[in-house]
Structure 1
Amino acid sequence: MGNPEGGKTGTGCAVPDEDDYEDPPPTRRDRLRSWGPLLVPVVVFGGIAAFVFAGIAGLARTSHAPDYSASSCSPSDPHKVLVEVQTGATGKDIGDALFNAGVVRSTQAFVDAAGHNQSARDISTGTYRVCPKISAATAITELLKSSNLSPDSLVEVRPGDYSWETVRQLAKKREWSLDDLQQLIDTNQIGLPSWSKSADGHWTAEGMLEPGRYTLTSSDTPQGVLTAMVKTRVAELTALGLPAKAAALKCAPARACTPEEALTIASLAEAEVTKATPDGREVSEAVQNRLSRGDFVGVDATTKYWLSLQAGKRITVTAKEVSDPTDPYATGGHKGLPPTPVSIPSKDMIAAVLTPATERWYYWCASGDGTKFFKESEKTRFEQTCLSH
C-alpha cells in the first residue's frame, strides 16, 4: 500500500525525498605510509580518497628557490585559479601545475616546501581553486583543504541513492555523454557480474555502484570510473557471501533467491528503514514471508524509483500509483519483486538482509519513533497503527 504524502507507511514505507544532492567534501583516510620518490598510486574508489604521491623528498634542494611571500589565501578571493592534480602526479608534476597556473613562483619552491612537510603526501587528486602568487608552503596548505576542490571534480555515491542519479551526475559534471555512459552499462563494459541483470535479462548497474566520495580529473574516462565503482562493489559483495547466501533466501513460494533478487531485497530495506540493525534483518524476513506466500510486497519505494527515473528527479507517489498494474515497479499492482534493485544498499544493510530475522514478521511501517513490525495474524493492528492516519 502506498502513502500519498510520501511518509513511510503501508505494507512497506517510502524513502524520504532527497531532491537536493549537494556534493560534500571528501574525507581523507588510508594515508599512504611510504614516501619513496616517484611512487605512483592509482585512484581507489568506494569511499577511500584518491591520494597522489608527491614523490618529492628525494628532490628537495638545499639552495633557496624563488618563492612568493604571501602566507594566506582568502576563501573568497575572486582571483583564484584552477589547478589540476592528476592521478599519480609526482611532486614536480604538482609544482609544475602550480607554477603554470601562476600560484607559486617556481616548481622547485614547491618541491622544497613539500620535502619539509610530511602532510604533502596527503594531497588528493582533483581540481582545486587556489589563490595566485602565494608561497609554496601556503600552496600545500590550500591543496590539503577539501573545501578548495572544484565541485565538478567531486561525485558522492550514498547508500539509498539511485545508480541512475550517479550516472547523470557524472555526465553533467564531466560533460560526458549520458547515452555513452548508458551504453557502457547496456553492453556491460564495466565488469558487472553475470547475475546483474533485470528481470527481462538486460544488464543493470542499479545497486552495483559502490558508495563513497570520488575525486575526478580530466584524465578519467567514463568506462574507467564506472568500472572502478563496480569492481569495488563486486569485491564487497563477494566478501559478504552474497552469491552463496542468496540461495538460502526465499523469493517465491517454491524458489530461492538469485543474487540479484537478494540485492533487490537489500535495496528495498535501504529505501524503507533508517538503520540496518535490526531493521534490515526484519524487513528481509517480512519481504520473504510475503514472497513465499505469493502476496504483494506493496511498498511505495519501488514505484517511487520508477516514476522518479521517468521524471529525472525524485518525486512523491500516490496510493493509486503504488497499485498501478501498468507500472512494472508497482509492487502493489504486481506480485513478486521489482525488475531491478531500487536503491544502492549499504554494506551493513546487505549483510543484515542476508541474515534475516526469524520472528515471522509480515508487515511494517516506519515513523518518527522507529520502524514497527507486525506478524501476519496482526493485520488489523497493523492497519490501525500504520494506515488509519
Structure 2
Amino acid sequence: MRALIKRVLWTGFVLATLLVAGMVWWVNSPMRLPAGVQSVDLSIEPGARPAAIAQAVANAGVQVHPQLLMWWFRLSGQARHLRAGGYEIMAGATPASVTRMLARGEESLRTLSLIEGWNWSQVRQALSRASDLKHDSQDLSNEALMQALGRPGVHPEGQFYPDTYSYAKGSSELALLRRAMHAMDTHLAAAWAERNPQVAVQTPAQALVLASIIEKETGRAQDRSMISSVFNNRLRIGMRLQTDPTVIYGLGPAFDGNLRKANLLNDTPYNTYTRAGLPPTPIAMPGKAALWAAVQPAQSKALYFVARGDGTSAFSESLDAHNRAVAQYQLRKQPAAK
C-alpha cells in the first residue's frame, strides 16, 4: 500500500513539474502574428474583464488561445491590474510580455507637434493629418469647438500652447486640444504673475495677444525683449503698433506673400496701421519666450525697429533715426557721412 501511495505521489509530482515547466515555456514563448505582419494594434476598453481582454488579444490577430491567456492573467496576479488603452503587440511578444505591457499601461503612443508661431488654420491642418487620432473636432465650427472645450465665446487663435504632445491610438482631438489649452493657461498665468508692473497690457488676454505679435515679429531670440519694449512703449503713449504680421493675419487666404501699400491702407480689425491698440485676438500661438517677453520688456525708449536682413533688428528712439536705419538695411543705402 505504501509503495502504491509513493508511486501516486511521485507520479503527481512529475505531472505537476511537467505542468509548471510547460506553463513556464508557454508564457515565455513568442506568439505568432498573421503572416507578413510585424505588429498588431490592440484596443482595450475601460472596464473590460480579463476574459474580454484575452479575447481582444486573439481578435487582434495574435495566435493564442484566449482561455489560456485569461488563466495566465489570473495566475500571474495581474488580472486586476490590466489597463484600458491603445497598445501595439510586436512580433516576438510572449504571453508574459503582453501581460506586463497591459499591467503597466505601456500604450503605443504617437506624437503631434504644434509649432510656435503657427496660426489656428495650421493647427487644424496638423490635426487632420495626425495619424491614429480620433478626428472629433474636424466637423465643428470654431464656435462649437470652443464650446466643447468649455470656452464659449472665445476665439481659438493663440489659445493652445505650442509643444509636442503624445497620445495613444484612437485618442480624441478634443482631448489633445484641451491639454494644449490648459498648458497655455498655465504658461500664461506664470508669465503674468511675474509681469513688470510698468507693462502697458492690462490683462492676461492682452498679454497673449501681444506675445503672439512678438512671436511673429522675432527673427532672433535676443530681440524679443526689445521688440516687446517697442510695442509696450507705443501702447503706453497711444501710438499705433504698425506691425505687418497683424495686417497679414487680417488678410487671411487673400495674402499672396507680397504685402502691398494698399494692404496697409485697407482697414480691418487686425490692421494696426489704421487702428490703435491691440488687435481683437492673438494672431498665432506664442511660445514661452514670447509670453515672458510680452510682460517683461527691455527697459528702453525705442519706438521703432527694422529688420537688418540677417534675422536681427535695429532699434531707434526717433523717426529720423529709424528712417536712416531703413535706408541702410532695407533700401541698402549707406547713410551720408556727417
Q: Do residues 248 (structure 1) and 211 (structure 2) align?
A: no
Q: Write the distance in 1 (CA, Å) between the matches of 2:247 and 2:48.
A: 46
> Is this contact kept in 1: 2:212–2:282, CA < 8 A?
yes
The aligned counterpart of 1:211 is: 162
The aligned counterpart of 1:175 is: 135
Q: Do residues 287 (structure 1) and 231 (structure 2) align?
A: yes
Q: Do residues 234 (structure 1) and 185 (structure 2) align?
A: yes
Q: Write the distance in 2 (CA, Å) between the matches of 1:364 and 1:87.
A: 56
What's the offset of the Cα at 1:383? 0.9
Q: Which amino acid aligns with 1:175?
A: H
Query: What is the 5 A alignment of 1:1-389?
Result: 63-64=23-24, 65-66=26-27, 68-69=29-30, 80-84=39-43, 98-103=57-62, 105=64, 107=69, 128=88, 134-135=93-94, 154-171=111-128, 173=130, 174-180=134-140, 182-187=142-147, 189-192=148-151, 202-217=153-168, 220-241=171-192, 245=195, 248-250=198-200, 256-276=201-221, 278-308=222-252, 310=253, 316-320=257-261, 322-366=263-307, 369-377=310-318, 378-389=321-332
> Is this contact kept in 2: 1:286–1:360, CA < 8 A?
yes
The aligned counterpart of 2:17 is: none
Q: Which amino acid aligns with 2:329?
A: C
Deviations along 1:276-328, whole A, 9 cap, x unmatched? 4x3221111111223334333222322333444x47xx962413365042332
What's the offset of the Cα at 1:350? 1.1
> Is this contact kept in 2: 1:207–1:263, CA < 8 A?
yes
Q: Write the distance in 1 (CA, Å) between the matches of 2:307 and 2:56.
A: 52
> Is this contact kept in 1: 2:192–2:204, CA < 8 A?
no
Q: Secondary structure at the match of 1:81?
A: strand
Deviations along 1:12-44, whole A, 9 cap, x unmatched? xxxxxxxxxxxxxxxxxxxxxxxxxxxxxxxxx
> Is this contact kept in 2: 1:207–1:341, CA < 8 A?
yes
Q: Write the distance in 2 (CA, Å) between the matches of 1:171 and 1:184.
A: 17
Q: Secondary structure at the match of 1:323?
A: helix
Change in Cα spacing, 1:331 to 1:131, as seen in structure 2 (3 Å) is same
> Is this contact kept in 2: 1:81–1:131, CA < 8 A?
yes
> Is this contact kept in 1: 2:31–2:63, CA < 8 A?
no
Q: Write the distance in 2 (CA, Å) between the matches of 1:269 and 1:108.
A: 57
Q: Write the distance in 2 (CA, Å) between the matches of 1:217 and 1:68.
A: 27
The aligned counterpart of 1:53 is: none
Q: Write the distance in 2 (CA, Å) between the matches of 1:379 and 1:307.
A: 27
What's the offset of the Cα at 1:175? 3.1
Report % sequence identity. Answer: 25
Change in Cα spacing, 1:287 to 1:124, as seen in structure 2 (3 Å) is farther
Q: Write the distance in 2 (CA, Å) between the matches of 1:88 and 1:349.
A: 44
TM-score normalised by length of structure 2: 0.66
Deviations along 1:164-207, whole A, 9 cap, x unmatched? 432443356433343426234454x4244xxxx9xxxx512322
> Is this contact kept in 2: 1:303–1:321, CA < 8 A?
no
Q: Write the distance in 2 (CA, Å) between the matches of 1:367 and 1:157.
A: 29
> Is this contact kept in 2: 1:185–1:203, CA < 8 A?
no
**Coordinate RMSD, CA, aligned:** 4.7
The 10-residue stretch of structure 1 (99-108 or 320-329) with the greater mean CA deviation from structure 2: 99-108
Change in Cα spacing, 1:361 to 1:214, as seen in structure 2 (3 Å) is same
> Is this contact kept in 1: 2:31–2:62, CA < 8 A?
no
Q: Which runs of 5+ in 1 are unaligned?
A: 1-60, 72-76, 116-122, 251-255
> Is this contact kept in 2: 1:331–1:337, CA < 8 A?
yes
Change in Cα spacing, 1:379 to 1:274, as seen in structure 2 (3 Å) is closer
Q: Write the distance in 1 (CA, Å) between the matches of 2:52 and 2:196.
A: 48
Q: How many residues align?
A: 296
Q: Which amino acid aligns with 1:329?
A: Y
The aligned counterpart of 1:39 is: none
Change in Cα spacing, 1:217 to 1:296, as seen in structure 2 (3 Å) is same
Q: Write the distance in 2 (CA, Å) between the matches of 1:297 and 1:90.
A: 61
What's the offset of the Cα at 1:137? 8.0
Which structure has the larger Rg? 2
Higher relative contact order (CA closer than 8 Å, sequence separation 6+): 1
> Is this contact kept in 2: 1:249–1:288, CA < 8 A?
yes
Q: Write the distance in 1 (CA, Å) between the matches of 2:309 and 2:72.
A: 53
More helix by share: 2
